[in-house]
Structure 1
Amino acid sequence: MEVEQTTRTGNEPSSSTGCQNVADEFKQVKSKKNNKRKRQVDDGQMETEVHSKRPEFPPISGDKMKGDSDEMRKIPVPSHRYTPLKENWMKIFTPIVEHLQLQVRFNLKTRNVEIKTCKETQDISALTKAADFVKAFVLGFQVEDALALIRLDELFLETFEVTDVKPLKGDHLSRAIGRIAGKGGKTKFTIENVTRTRIVLADTKIHILGSFQNIKMARTAICNLILGKFCIGVCTFNSIRFILHFREKNIMGVKSLNLLSVHFDNYP
């Protein structure tokens, strides 16, 4: 029994050697604050490196942009525009096919004008121009006016309703539309000539075709008519141009198109 006890005590490690092994296994733990600071510094360096180098990509040709599949646009045609579309089809067909080099057809089943790209199409924006051209005609613009969307890049279409400006109903809505049109369309023609835009009144909807700045001027004049701020029917062509001129340049602090009590006949 004594021999067994001596052998067991000889095999067991001493307490001093165990403490040394545990001390060797301990590692120094870094504080979290230092780690956060280092991460912030590293992230800042990475951001500066990314911002300092700008990626440079070679220009892509039109063939790669359009890809293998052909694109198509469909423009729905309402029933009241079937006859004008049939009468002016050649005027619409010619610029789309010859100048933009696209394919166009009128689907009798779906009542849509379908425009499609082909191998001969070179300009990437040709499909968008053709779709805007047909859409402008469908909204009620003349073919000659809508054709400007193909020739010029800075022309846009804007549509809004009378009720978007002021919630009118019944006779009040009819009077507002009448103020915009004027007697025999004089008011509408005057705004078109002054702002160099084209306006279409379709029930309660108003469509404006022109440049961004000109559309803004025409929209301001129409909104003031809807709100009933002044009667444009008694104004002359020069008076409206005078008011719009000073409103555009913010001269005299004119904030609204009010009827000014001055003589406009001498204004150029």
Structure 2
Amino acid sequence: MKTTDVPRYTPDWLELRESADAAARSPELIEELRPRLSGPPLVIHDLGCGTGSMGRWLAPRLSGPQLWILHDRDPDLLDRAALRMPRAATDGSRIAIATARGDLKRLTASTLDGASLVTASALLDVLTAEEVDGIAAACAAAQCPALLALSVVGRVEITPADPLDAEIAEAFNAHQRRGDLVGPDAMAVASETFARYGATVRTHASPWTLGADHAALTAEWLRGWVGAAVEHRPELAGRAEAYLRRRLAIAATGALRVVVHHRDLLALPASRTLGAAA
């Protein structure tokens, strides 16, 4: 499966999940990253930027002038992201924005010339191993760190439990691996790949914890989770429809708790000429 075949994500879905993403991402990895950032200015490439939620989360956590280069294949999402990026860092320094429309297969060391950081959110698990290798190779050649957040790991906890939970989860995970996508194996694949290029790799848990305060997100996530499972295993359709009704009814009361497990990854290049830290 090529990157260009990956389903487009709607702005509504990306907006709905932004607060949960922000709460889940690992600030601990940023502290490890800071001493390895070169600048000023910091030059940050945001891959598959969507509506720009990663930039809105990370840019205020870095000091000094920044140039964010937003990458996405969807021009509408690029426009939304550029408009909504912060224009000043936490210390008041200027943040400049540029956009780059295109396929990740075009990412090379020359694309990353002068880059301080490559970042992405909820991207790795919708790539193939070849595409992960391309990102790791480009980062290694450019001697650029990578901070890649919110990759699913194939584990979901739902309370109260239901007899169909495990079967739906298994079918969903299989759907995530369709067409050679790494899916829930993203962390293992990316960790091994970046390490093969000489990077030091750190990972940190970044789970969504959804409860009564996230009713709309929980309902939409449930619909997508069950829908993907049925797409992979159509024979589940009848039981899955009843399952979804049960789950949505409990969620509507505020009594459903869902933990969707993710991990964040930081890859630090083997060597780098250090500049001013952020």
TM-score relative to the length of structure 1: 0.26
Q: Which gives a bigger RCO, structure 1 or 2 (Cα 8 Å, sep 6+)?
A: 2
TM-score relative to the length of structure 2: 0.25
Choose between structure 1 and 2: higher strand proportion. 2
Choose between structure 1 and 2: higher helix proportion. 1
| Larger radius of gyration between Structure 1 and Structure 2 | 1
